[in-house]
Structure formats: structure tokens, C-alpha cells
Copies of this chain bind each other. A is one copy, B any other.
């Protein structure tokens, strides 16, 4: 975010967001206990629950649920956004996500970080109070290998007239 574009009220409206703007989040370390607890509640497939079961599969050892990785993305990005109250004030959440890809397993002990880049923006014809921003998100592990990529489609308030 280029702070020069911010208005005096400090709020980052749709008009203040530019293609190419960047945003970093994390780091966040995933424990073995976290991996198993999430999987036990939401994705109890054997390769997300124990090394022994994962050894029988292409995962080879315990791997986090892909939906755990997306939840951890959100945790990192909300924390980063809450450090910038002006961003949070004008965010209206997400419509959806395109092209989500799990590229590598996330393992217990991995330390994740994320990057966000604005790839395009579009005013809403039908709803002038908001605009749509598409972002390319990449989550990396501690070896700087991408583990997840996706394109969240987010809504932002436009500046009051």
C-alpha cells in the first residue's frame, strides 16, 4: 500500500488501492498438535492424522489438511490487516477465490508466510458504494517453496462522495 494515496482519515478505500500493491503476512509456525486437531475436527483422512497412516500414501508423512492451510492463510492475513486499521475499515470481505492450488504438503513444524499482490480492480456498475479487487496470494514455507497459490476476489468500500 502506497501511503501517499491514503486520505487524511487514514482509511484505505477502493480508490486508494492500485494494481501491483503488495502486502506481506506471517510468519506462523504450525505445530503437530495443530495439524492433528484441525484434521480430527474437519478432515479426518488418515494421512492428516498420523505419520504411520501417511507412510502408506503419496504424502509419506503427516501433512496438514489443505483447508487448514487456507485457514492459516486467513489467520496470518487478518493479523496483518489488523495492524493497519485503515485497511480493515474499508474491507467488505471476499466474494470468492479462483485458482486455489495446493502445491506442496504443509508439514508439522513448518513456518509459513504469505504475500498478496493486487492484480486488477474494477468499480461495480450496479453498486457504486463498492469495488472489486483481485489479489494473487502465495503462501511459502520456511524453504521459500510455495505451498499454496490462489486469487481471492475481495470487495472494498468506495470513498464517500
The closest CB in chain B to the CB of A79 belongs to B44
Q: How far is B95's CA from A99's CA once the two chains are assembled, in angstroms?
A: 10
Q: Which residues of A56-111 are within 8 A (CB) of B?
A: 57-58, 65-67, 70-72, 74-75, 78, 82, 88, 92-102
Q: Work out how many copies of this chain go into the complex.
A: 2
Q: How far is B155's CA from A47's CA once the two chains are assembled, in angstroms?
A: 15
Residues of B contacting A41 with CB < 8 Å?
Answer: 71, 75
- In the complex, whether A16 has a CB less than 8 A from a CB of chain B is no
Residues of B contacting A44 with CB < 8 Å?
Answer: 78, 82
Contact of A71 among B42, B88, B97 (CB under 8 A): B42
- In the complex, whether A31 has a CB less than 8 A from a CB of chain B is no
Residues of B contacting A75 with CB < 8 Å?
Answer: 41-43
- In the complex, whether A124 has a CB less than 8 A from a CB of chain B is no
Q: Which residues of A16-69 are within 8 A (CB) of B?
A: 38, 41-45, 47, 57-58, 65-67
Residues of B contacting A70 with CB < 8 Å?
Answer: 67, 70
Q: How far is B74's CA from A65's CA once the two chains are assembled, in angstroms?
A: 10
Q: Which residues of A line the B interface, CB within 8 A?
A: 38, 41-45, 47, 57-58, 65-67, 70-72, 74-75, 78, 82, 88, 92-102
Sample (16) of A-B pairs whose CB atoms are under 8 Å apart: A41-B71, A42-B74, A42-B75, A43-B75, A43-B78, A44-B78, A44-B82, A45-B78, A45-B93, A67-B70, A67-B71, A70-B70, A71-B71, A95-B102, A97-B100, A98-B98
